[in-house]
Chain A
Amino acid sequence: MRRRSLWADMDWLSVLLYALLVSVGWISIYAADFDGLRTGMFDLSTSHGKQILWVTVALVLAILIVIIDNKFYTTFAYLIYGLVMVMLVMIFFIGSEVKGNKSWFVLGGFSIQPSEFAKFATALAVAKYLSSQGANMKYWSTRFIVGAIILLPMMLILYQGDAGSALVFLSFVLVLYREGLSSWVLVGGGLFVALSLLSLAIDEKLYLVVGIVLATAVIIYLLRKHIRIAMLVGAIAVSSIGYIYAVSYFFGKLKPHQKDRIEVVLGKLEDKKGAGYNLDQSKIAIGSGGFSGKGFLNGTQTKGNFVPEQTTDFIFCTVGEEHGFIGTMIVLGLFMALLARIVYISERQRSKFTRLYGYGVASILFFHIIINIGMTIGLVPVIGIPLPFLSYGGSSILSFTILLFILLKLDSDRLAVLR
Chain B
Amino acid sequence: MDIFKNRRFIILGIFASFFVVFALHLFYIQIIDDSYEALANQNVIRNVTVYPNRGLIYDRNGMLIVENDATYEIFVIPKQVKDIDTALFCQLLAIEPQYFIDQMTKAKNYSRYVPSSFLKNLSVEQYASFQEHLYMFPGFYGDIRLVRKYPQHSAAHVLGYTGEISQKKLDAQSYYKSGDYIGISGLEATYEPFLRGHKGSKLILVDKFNREQGSFKDGIYDTAAISGHNLTVTLDIELQVYAEQLMQNKRGCVVAIEPSTGEILVMVSAPSYDPNLLTGRQRGNNYVMLQKDTLKPLFNRAISGGSYPPGSTFKSIMALMGLQEGTLQPYDVYPCFGGFRLGSHTVGCHDHAQLTDLSSAIQHSCNAYFCYVFKNIIDQSKFATSDEALAKWDSYLYSFGLGNKLGVDIPGENSGHVPTPKYYNNIYQKGHWKSSTIISLAIGQGELGITPLQMANMTCAIANRGYYFTPHFVKFIENDTTNFVKHYSGKNKTKVEQRYFDEVVEGLYQTVQAGTGRIAQIEGYEVCGKTGTVENPHGKDHSAFITFAPKVNPRIVVLAFVENSGFGATYAAPIASLVMEKYLNDTIAANRLFLEKRMIETDLIHPKVISSNEAP
Using known A-B contacts A287-B29, A379-B22, determine if residue A301 contacts B44 with beta carbons closer than 8 Å.
Answer: yes
Residues of B within 8 A of A289 (CB): 30
Chain A: residues with Cβ within 8 Å of the partner, total of: 44
Whether B26 lies near A328 (C-beta < 8 A) is: yes
- In the complex, whether B40 has a CB less than 8 A from a CB of chain A is yes
Contact with A along B419-431 (1 / 0, CB 8 A): 0000000000000
| Chain B residue contacts of A198, Cβ below 8 A | none
B residues near A301, Cβ cutoff 8 Å = 40, 43-44
Which B residues are in CB contact (< 8 Å) with A285? Answer: 40
Q: Verify if A243 is at the interface (C-beta below 8 Å from B).
A: no
Cross-chain contact B44 with A328 (CB below 8 angstroms): no
> Is A291 a contact partner of B25 (Cβ separation < 8 A)?
no
Q: In whole angstroms, how far apart are the Cα atoms of A272 and B82 in the complex?
A: 12
- Say whether A60 faces chain B, with CB atoms less than 8 Å apart: no
A316 to chain B: closest CB distance in Å?
A: 10
In the bound complex, CA of A286 to CA of B37 (Å) = 9
Known: A273-B82, A304-B213. A340 touches B4 (CB 8 A): no
| A251 interfacial contact with B, CB 8 Å | no
Report how far A346 CA is from B30 CA in the complex, Å: 35
Instruction: List A contacts of B79 (CB < 8 A).
Output: 272-273
Question: Does residue A112 face the partner (Cβ distance < 8 Å to B)?
Answer: no
In the assembled complex, A179 has its CB within 8 A of some CB on chain B: yes
B80/A273 in contact, CB under 8 A: yes
Min CB gap A27→B, angstroms: 19
Q: Tell me the A308-345 residues at the B interface (CB within 8 Å).
A: 320, 324-325, 328-329, 332, 335-336, 339-340, 343
Q: Is the CB of A325 within 8 A of B30?
A: yes
> B16 contacts the other chain (Cβ, under 8 Å)?
yes
Which residues of chain A come closer than 8 Å to B14, judged between CB atoms?
A: 174
Of B201-209, B241-249, B513-521, the stretch lying at the interface with chain A is B201-209
Whether B208 and A306, one on each chain, are in contact in the complex, defined by CB atoms closer than 8 angstroms, is: yes
Query: Which of A287, A320, A328, A336 lies in contact with B16, CB distance below 8 A?
Result: A336
Which residues of chain A are near B3, meaning CB under 8 Å?
Answer: 180
A342, chain B: closest CB distance, angstroms: 10
In the bound complex, what is the Cα–Cα distance between A373 and B207 (angstroms)?
24
B5-13, B141-149, B433-441, B479-487: which one contacts chain A? B5-13
Judge whether A332 and B33 touch: CB under 8 Å: no
Q: Mark B19-37, 1 if CB is under 8 A from A, else 0.
A: 1011101110111010111
Q: Mark A174-188, 1 if CB is under 8 A from B, else 0.
A: 100111100000000
Bound Cα distance from A328 to B25, whole angstroms: 11
Asked whether B18 is an interface residue with its Cβ less than 8 Å from the other chain, the reply is yes
> In the complex, what residues of B have CB within 8 A of residue A179's CB?
4
**Distance A11 CA – B45 CA, assembled complex (angstroms):** 48
Asked if B175 CB lies within 8 Å of chain A CBs, one says no
Q: In the complex the two chains form, is A287's CB within 8 Å of B19's CB?
A: no
User: Which A-chain residue is minimally distant from B209 (CB atoms)?
Assistant: A305
- Complex Cα gap A373–B455 (Å): 84
With contact pairs A177-B7, A305-B208, A377-B26 given, residues A340 and B36 touching in the complex (Cβ less than 8 Å): no
Among A178, A287, A289, A306, chain B packs the most CB atoms within 10 A around the CB of A287
Smallest beta-carbon distance B389→chain A, Å: 80
- State whether the Cβ of A284 lies closer than 8 Å to any Cβ in chain B: yes
Decide if A174 touches B33 in the complex (CB within 8 Å): no
Is A374 engaged at the interface, CB distance under 8 Å to the other chain? yes
In the bound assembly, the distance between CA atoms of A289 and B18 in angstroms comes to 22
B221 touches A (CB below 8 Å) = no
Q: Report the Cα distance A291→B8, complex, angstroms.
A: 34
Measured CA separation A339–B12 after assembly (Å): 8
In the complex, A143 has a CB within 8 A of chain B: no
| Contact between chains at A304 and B206 (CB < 8 Å) | yes
Within the complex, the shortest CB–CB distance from A292 to chain B, in Å, comes to: 10
Residues from chain B with a CB closer than 8 A to the CB of A272 are: 79
Specify which chain B residues have a CB less than 8 angstroms from the CB of A234 in the assembled complex: none
A260 to B19, CA, bound (A): 27
Q: B353: CB under 8 A from chain A? A: no
Instruction: With both chains docked as a complex, state the minimum distance between the C-beta of A136 and any C-beta of chain B, in angstroms.
Output: 11
- Would A377 and B25 count as touching, CB distance under 8 A? yes
| Closest beta carbon of chain A to B207's beta carbon, Å | 4
A196 is an interface residue with CB less than 8 A from chain B: no
- Bound-complex Cα distance A347 to B4 (A): 11
B37 near A288 (CB under 8 angstroms)?
Answer: yes
- A304–B43 touching, CB < 8 Å: yes
Neighbouring B residues of A74 by C-beta, 8 Å = none
Question: Which residue of chain B lies nearest to A180 when distances are taken between CB atoms in the complex?
Answer: B4
Instruction: Classify the interface of chain A: helix, strand, loop or mixed.
Output: helix
User: Does B39 belong to the interface (CB within 8 Å)?
Assistant: yes
Contact with B along A292-312 (1 / 0, CB 8 A): 000000001101111000000
The answer, yes or no, to whether A283 is at the interface (CB within 8 Å) is yes
Contact A300 B11 (CB under 8 A): no
Closest A-chain residue to B40, C-beta based? A288
Q: Could you say which residues of chain A place their CB within 8 Å of the CB of B21?
A: 379
Q: Is B331 an interface residue (CB 8 A)?
A: no
Instruction: Please indicate the chain A residues that have their CB under 8 angstroms from the CB of B39 in the complex.
Output: 284, 287-288
**Residue B15 at the chain A interface, CB threshold 8 Å:** yes
- Distance (Å) between the CB of B111 and the closest chain A CB? 14
Task: Verify A347–B5 contact, CB threshold 8 A.
Answer: yes
Partner of B19, one of A290, A304, A336: A336
Contact A283 B15 (CB under 8 A): no
Is the Cβ of B207 less than 8 Å from the Cβ of A304? yes
- Contact between A332 and B25, CB atoms less than 8 A apart: no
- B12 with A340: CB separation less than 8 A: yes
Q: Are A287 and B37 in contact (CB under 8 A)?
A: yes
Q: Evaluate whether A286 and B206 lie within 8 angstroms (CB atoms) in the complex, with A306-B43, A373-B22 already known.
A: no
User: What 0/1 readout, one digit per residue, does chain B (109-150) give for beta carbons within 8 Å of chain A?
Assistant: 000000000000000000000000000000000000000000
Complex CA gap A306/B31 in Å reads 21
- Contact partner of B26 among A180, A325, A335, A370, CB < 8 A? A325
**A288 with B16: in contact, given A180-B4, A347-B8, A379-B22 (CB under 8 Å)?**
no
Smallest CB separation, A176 vs chain B (Å): 10
The answer to whether B30 touches A304 (Cβ under 8 A) is no
Query: Which residues of chain B are within 8 angstroms of A34 by Cβ–Cβ distance?
Result: none
* A273-B82, A304-B44, A336-B15 known; A291 vs B31 contact (CB < 8 Å): yes
Is residue A78 contacting chain B, with contact meaning CB distance below 8 A?
A: no
Instruction: Find A340's partner among B7, B10, B15 (CB 8 Å cutoff).
Output: B15
Q: Which of A272, A300, A328, A339 has the most CB of B within 10 A?
A: A300
CB contacts (< 8 Å) of B45 on chain A: these are: 300
Tell me, in angstroms, the Cα distance from A180 to B614 when the chains sit together.
Answer: 120
Q: Quote the shortest CB–CB distance from B187 to chain A (angstroms).
A: 45
Whether A343 and B7, one on each chain, are in contact in the complex, defined by CB atoms closer than 8 angstroms, is no
Give 1 or 0 for each of B519-531: 1 = CB within 8 Å of chain A CB.
0000000000000
| Structural contact, A332 and B44, CB atoms closer than 8 A | no
B8 touches A288 (CB 8 A): no
Once the chains are docked, how many angstroms separate the CA of A320 from the CA of B43? 17
Contact B36 A343 (CB under 8 A): no
A283 and B36 form a contact (CB under 8 A): yes
Shortest A60–chain B CB gap in Å is: 31
B139 shortest CB reach to chain A, Å:
10
Q: Does A105 contact B (CB under 8 A)?
A: no
- Assembly CA distance A287 to B575 (angstroms): 76
Identify which of B3, B8, B35 gathers the most chain A CB atoms within 10 Å of its CB. B8
Answer whether A290 and B43 are a contact pair too, CB < 8 Å, given A303-B207, A303-B213, A343-B11: no
Q: Which 9 A-B pairs have the closest CB atoms?
A: A287-B36, A288-B40, A304-B207, A287-B29, A325-B30, A288-B37, A300-B44, A304-B44, A284-B39
List the interface of chain A (C-beta within 8 A of B): 174, 177-180, 272-273, 281, 283-291, 300-301, 303-306, 320, 324-325, 328-329, 332, 335-336, 339-340, 343, 346-347, 359, 362, 366, 370, 373-374, 377, 379
- Besides A178-B8, A303-B205, A374-B22, 15 other A-B contacts (C-beta < 8 A): A177-B10, A272-B79, A273-B80, A283-B29, A287-B40, A300-B45, A305-B209, A339-B12, A340-B12, A343-B8, A347-B5, A362-B11, A362-B15, A377-B29, A379-B22
Show 13 A/B contacts (Cβ-Cβ < 8 Å), sorted by A. A179-B4, A283-B36, A284-B36, A285-B40, A287-B36, A287-B40, A301-B40, A304-B43, A306-B43, A325-B31, A328-B26, A332-B23, A346-B8
